[in-house]
Amino acid sequence: MMNKNSRRRFLRQTVTAATGLALAPGLVSCGAGNTATASSSVPARAPEKGRKLNVALLGLGSYAKGQIAPSLQFTRHCQLAGIITGSPEKIPEWQAKHDIPDENVYSYDNMDELADNPNIDVVYVITPTATHKEFAVRAAKAGKHVWCEKPMAMTVEDSQAIIDACNENNVRLSIGYRMLHEPNTQDFIALSKEKAFGAFTAATSLAGYAGSDPPTDYWRGQRAMGGGALYDMGVYTVNGLRYGLQMAPVAVVKAMQHRPTEVDVTTEYTLEFPGGLLAEGKTSVVTNYNQLRIEGENGWHEMQPMQPYGGVKGLTSAGTVLGPPIDGKQQTLQMDDDALAIMNNTPVLAPGEMGRDDIAVIRAIIESAETGKRVVL
């Protein structure tokens, strides 16, 4: 039950200052390469030089609380300034801990009023995957830049709707692919870009953890909400092959999903890339493995583990170690990179188009597993 005090906090006071909304000249919206829509009715605000961007977290679950909020304490270009939640009982603790004023506290019902609040620049969507589209579109329509957690959405259509909403409302969009901001992963990607070990011959991408079949009364155990290994962990394997091979797959050759209840606990797949290159992917929420390995004509380079919060380490056939591992601050780097991209009007590392294209691969893997057929992308 909501008590009087939390209800008061929950009902944010309307901010009447419409003044801060000045058009950011030439601001490019959403993913790299998309031009802002000149006729947009809700212009994004140009942040003042040297000012930190104010971020509102939408969804105060385990990732927001355990990783994103603590990481925001170390960011240099953005700061935690607001919350948007469907759980009023969480509000007092968040307000007290992060010094969040009443006027920056919203519910899912009144979050559209963000349009009137010049003190929030970015909404970071950190809710169950099936809800990303609705919340990201509403944030964009309120004129706020959008950071959206992975996996971007349930479908390509939903992902595109987020991209379109950001374009139409002249705001930027980044997907929460934290690995792209991790320095050892960036060194690994540099080796891929220069084909340090010759033409690629094969690739393997594995991401799994030894958990248990998620309960069906929790979203991670519900298919319609985006639960299961493939959406949750498999998206790292798909994205890893994209950056490891520096190209997009052309087909899912075959796939197999193990679904003891509603969602898959393990999924295996084979992707075909241009030139006939085959890559093997595997993901699980019941078995531990974590490796991204690219084979070339003259050797190999790999990340092992490839996607934990800390301890990412790389190795090559030449004996080079990519490290030392950084300790748990990928999200700080991610949010600072994304804030700088907004302030400097530069491309983001993880644009909406990348998130959308990974969802296309995920959907094709599911289709291939269900039909037993090769699915062209």
Binding region for ligand NAD (CB under 6 A): 59-64, 86-87, 126-129, 131, 149-150, 176, 178, 219, 232
Nearer to ligand NAD, 27 or 80 (CB): 80
Rounded least distance, CB 200 to ligand NAD, Å: 27
Our CB check for ligand NAD shows the closer of 209 and 254 to be: 209
Query: Which residues have a Cβ under 8 Å from the Cβ of 228 and sit 6 or more positions away?
Result: 214, 220, 259, 262, 263, 264, 265, 267, 285
Tell me whether residue 127 or residue 257 sits nearer to ligand NAD (CB atom). Answer: 127
Closest CB 107 distance from ligand NAD, rounded Å: 11
Give the shortest CB-24-to-ligand NAD separation in angstroms. 27
The nearest distance, CB 16 to ligand NAD, in angstroms, is 28
> Rounded distance, CA 84 to CA 96, Å?
15
Closest to ligand NAD by CB, 201 vs 291, is 291
- DSSP annotation string for 118-186: TT--EEEE-S-GGGHHHHHHHHHHTT-EEEEPSS--SSHHHHHHHHHHHHHTT--EEE--GGGG-HHHH
Q: Note the Cα 326 to chain centre separation in Å.
A: 20
DSSP 326-360: P-S-HHHHHHHHHHHHHHHT---SS-HHHHHHHHH
Q: Closest CB to ligand NAD among 127 and 237?
A: 127
Query: Taking the complex as a whole, how short is the minimal distance between the CB of residue 249 and ligand NAD, in angstroms?
Result: 22
- Burial (0-12, 13-18, 19+ Cβ within 10 Å), 319: exposed
Instruction: Return the residue nearest ligand NAD (CB atom).
Output: 61
Cβ nearer to ligand NAD, comparing 129 with 368 = 129
- The nearest distance, CB 2 to ligand NAD, in angstroms, is 15
**Under 8 Å between Cβ of 184 and 302:** no
